[in-house]
Structure 1
Amino acid sequence: MNTLDTVLYTGKTHTTGGREGHARSDDGQLDIALSPPGSRRPGTNPEQLFAAGWSACFEGAMGFAARKLRIELPAGTAIDAEVDLGTLGEGYQLQARLNIALPGLEAHQAQAIVDEAHRTCPYSKATRGNIDVQIRLT
């Protein structure tokens, strides 16, 4: 396992109660109730948080990729992320889909941006080879 050369940021949270608990960041910017998926109780769940984090990170990586390729990201750039929690054998497993809108770009430009972003995004790196991931241009 590789150790980082330089730590740029450390996100810190304190969580109690698991899927029926509460999570708060050390700076107070995140302060949320947690609830099991589909329970209709107030709060979010780890799958929603993962989808939000990955899509935000991936869109940032697309921005870097676009600048590298000298392409301007369109104003309507968006990502609809879906993270499934399911079972595989006797254990739990995740799978994910990133549905990416890059309106107005030619298909080859959009694909080049997405490919480069998927190569460099830290969330993509963390999941590569660990879960089923589908990335689609919409």
Structure 2
Amino acid sequence: MSMRYRTEASNSDGGTGVSSVTGGMNVAVASPLNPDRDPAASNPEQLLALAWATCLNATARVFVTPEQRTAVRVEVELHDAADGFGYEFHVDAYLSVEGVSLDETERVLAQAHARCPVSKLLGGSATVAVHTETFAG
């Protein structure tokens, strides 16, 4: 297996401050649990949702015709951990494909979810699920 791409991100401020991509962007971060947080700052929940939505939709595009539009939305919830220690994410991804049945959308989702690197990373977690939905345009 050959490496295709590498990036590195760092954070030295924790849940408040800045996370950075080496040689790239700086992202202001703030805990969603802090009532005084900067509303323009991001958080791990949002970044996870963006990463998976982007990756899963880009992968789904491989399994449809160039004319068909696809959309992915990802919901990330922060819950108290089931074991009572800390927190855990509950993550749901929803794929829709323009102009096809939900059965066909399910086929595209299964293929995309099996191939998407973020799906592979999250796969098998009891708090992660994928779903289909009707394309809303």
For residue 26 of structure 1, report the CA deviation from its aligned partner: 1.4
1:57 aligns to 2:55 (yes or no): yes
Query: What is the identity, as a one-letter code, of the residue corresponding to 2:108?
Result: I
Q: CA RMSD for the aligned pairs?
A: 1.7
Alignment-derived partner of residue 74 in structure 1:
68
> Aligned partners of 1:62 and 1:7: how far apart in 2?
22
Amino-acid identity (%): 23
Alignment of 1:86-101 (within 5 A): 86-87=79-80, 88-91=82-85, 92-101=87-96
> Aligned partners of 1:74 and 1:37: how far apart in 2?
36
> Aligned partners of 1:34 and 1:46: how far apart in 2?
8
Q: Is the 8 A contact 1:63 1:73 kept in 2?
A: no
For residue 23 of structure 1, report the CA deviation from its aligned partner: 1.1
Aligned length: 128
For residue 72 of structure 1, report the CA deviation from its aligned partner: 4.2
Q: Is the 8 A contact 2:95 2:105 kept in 1?
A: no
Residues 112 and 120 (structure 1), Cα distance of their counterparts in 2 relative to 1, 3 Å cut: same
- Structure 1 residue ranges without an equivalent (≥5): none
Q: Is the 8 A contact 2:114 2:120 kept in 1?
A: yes
Alignment-derived partner of residue 130 in structure 2:
135
Per-residue CA distance 1:107-133 (angstroms, 9 max, x = gap): 222111101011111111111122422
Q: Under a length normalisation based on structure 2, what TM-score does the superposition of the two structures give? A: 0.83
Q: Under a length normalisation based on structure 1, what TM-score does the superposition of the two structures give? A: 0.82
Per-residue CA distance 1:25-74 (angstroms, 9 max, x = gap): 1122x2111001153424100110011001101011112233xxxx4462
For residue 101 of structure 1, report the CA deviation from its aligned partner: 2.2
> Aligned partners of 2:111 and 2:71: how far apart in 1?
16
Q: Is the 8 A contact 2:30 2:41 kept in 1?
A: yes
1:85 aligns to 2:81 (yes or no): no
- Structure 2 residue ranges without an equivalent (≥5): none
